[in-house]
Amino acid sequence: MASIAAVEAIVEENRCVTVNEITAHPDMSHESAHRIIHDVMRFHKVSARWVPCQLTAKLKEHVDACQELLKHFEAEYDGFLGRIVTEDETWARNQESEQGMAPYLLTKTKKFCTQPSAGKVILTLFWDERGVILEQYMPRRKPVTSATYADLLKNHLHPAIKSK
């Protein structure tokens, strides 16, 4: 009979290994290897890699947060969806050079740059079900850190939400 430790060592060494490759080991049947991987190790094949089906602590936190949001959604339904604010960031042309045009519509898609061009800045856009709440342009060459983002939320987004 196949050794559980041997199968675990093979899978840990190469997560892309197939059950047929594992059965090349002497005294290893296809059924034994399959049973050890699926039933004992509780691994499943995802994108040609063996991954554990157990959630990590971080993923469990995400699941808990999602379940909490689902409870609120089920209890409040219409009112809940109306309070969701979404955010996205993109490169936009300088707002002064493109007067009268929506700057967030001027960005080119599928272009990867190592450095932004002189006329572009980072646009952070917040919106809800009724439309745009806040357009915030970051100063040129200023990195977006947790402190600048926290300042954006506290001093710009919060007042914008209250005024709407």
Does the pLDDT of residue 27 top 70, yes or no? yes
> Any idea which residue has 């995802």 for tokens?
46
pTM flag (> 0.85) = no
What lies within 8 Å, CB to CB, of 139 at 6+ separation is 121
Q: What is the pLDDT of residue 40?
A: 86
Q: Where in the chain are the domains?
A: 4-52, 82-163
User: Would residue 70 be called left, alpha or beta, if left means φ above 0 and alpha means ψ between -120 and 50 degrees?
Assistant: alpha
pLDDT in tens, 41-72: 888 776 666 666 666 777 788 888 989 988 98
Q: Which of 29, 31, 54 is nearest to 41 (CA)?
A: 54
pLDDT in tens, 91-148: 887 654 444 445 555 555 555 555 545 567 888 999 988 889 999 888 777 777 888 8
Does the pLDDT of residue 2 top 60, yes or no? no
